[in-house]
Amino acid sequence: MGLTALAAVGLAAALDAAIAEPPSRVHPIALFGRVVTTVDREWARPRSVGVAAAVVLPLAFAAVAWGVVAGAGRVVAASVAWTGTAVALVAPVATVATAVVAGLALFSLTSLRMLVAVASEVVEAAERDADAARESAIALVGRDTSSLSAAWIRSAAVESAAENLADGLVAPLLAFALGAQASVAVGVAAAAWVKGVNTLDSMLGYPDKPVGTASARLDDAVMWVPARVSAVLLAVAAGSPRSLVDARRWARVPASPNSGWPMATAAAALGVRLEKSGAYALNPGAALPSLAEARRGVRVVAVAGALAFLLAGAAAAVAGVGS
């Protein structure tokens, strides 16, 4: 079981490096998002509907993921046995099929290359074409970019990359590694559940949407550990353990109980100010990031993501020890 989980993580990492994202028309997160849009409307009792959505939708998403992975091995085993193949080969072939399907599923639930590519694109565009950078930044940051200068765009790109590392990669990988201690299918289901919670929060978790209150609170709870693990990974990737100590001073400045940790750690490790006007300033005594500093920030996120894959693989592999 441990080798199967390790193979799944390895395949997910390889696919992320090679092609970044599945096509949107078949992307599980995009398909799940279409389901969430049916909840995003006016309701007579929005908070009750929101609680039901926060409970049911991520669990349903996880159940589908579990069924796909668990069923893959069984279907392949039955098919191989039906062809008259030697019994001794049935289990290995089924195991390979499970690893491949789990890897494909985990790939669709995680994102590193796309995050790094978009952040890098925004950073580079800010220097040569501010208008293009503002347009590109819309896909990365949750704020009005229309009046941001090049330095402010770089700040937004670096802080958003650090924040999205937690929910786009570390959280589902951590869930998979924990769930894989039971089975690979459970690991994928755990990763899907976490991504379901994240997606609900990103689509509904706004103050003006009472239907999203439960989703936002659940996401706060789910992301508590991944956000702090992401901060550790960023500090290691930057070669700056001290940044974790410094980050404690600013991590609670943003309204979110979690996003401040990776962002503040990135600010401390890079020695720059990361700021959202009117909301927070992390490492306020420093200057906004230069082009070189912003480039380094994106590289640090990329290295931290690679470390997350490595650690998830190692943790998942432990599932086979003593079993």
Element (H, E) at 94: helix 87-109
Q: Are 127 and 290 in contact (CB under 8 A)?
A: no
Taking the CA atoms of residue 66, residue 72, residue 74 and residue 77 in that order, the dihedral angle to the nearest 10 degrees is: -160
Q: At what angle do helices 150-165 and 260-270 cross, to 10 degrees?
A: 120
pLDDT the model gives residue 85: 56
Whole-angstrom distance, CA of residue 286 vs CA of residue 267: 9
Q: Record the tokens describing residue 59, joined without a space.
A: 């669990």
In a domain, 39, yes or no: yes
* pLDDT at position 211: 95
What pLDDT is attached to residue 165? 97
The pLDDT of residue 81: 56
| Rounded-to-integer distance, Cα 184 and Cα 283, Å | 41
Q: Residue ranges of the alpha helices (H) in 130-277? A: 130-137, 150-165, 171-179, 184-204, 213-222, 224-238, 242-247, 260-270
pLDDT for 146 equals 66
pLDDT value at residue 322: 41
Residue with token string 């009046």: 147
CB 180 within 8 A of CB 316: yes
> What domain range is 118 assigned to?
2-317
* pLDDT value, residue 202: 92
Helix (H, G, I), strand (E, B) or coil at 275: strand
DSSP secondary structure, 8-42, as one string: HHHHHHHHHHHHSS--TTT-HHHHHHHHHHTTSS-
Phi, psi of 67 (to 5 degrees): -65, -40
Residue 322 domain-assigned (yes or no): no
The number of folded domains in the chain is 1
323 in a structural domain: no
- Using N-to-C axis directions, what is the helix angle for 46-82 and 213-222, rounded to 10°? 60
Those residues of the chain that have pLDDT short of 70 are 1, 76-93, 130, 135-140, 142-147, 319-323
pTM of the predicted protein model: 0.92
| Contacts of 74 by beta carbon, 8 Å cutoff, 6+ apart | 94
Paired tokens of 156: 């937004």
| Rounded Cα gap, residues 305 and 244, in angstroms | 17
> Residue 307 belongs to what H/E stretch?
helix 291-317
Query: Scanning the structure block, which residue is given the tokens 């997160």?
Result: 29
pLDDT of amino acid 282: 96
Query: For residue 175, is it within any domain?
Result: yes
Task: State the Cα–Cα distance between residues 190 and 186, nearest whole angstrom.
Answer: 6
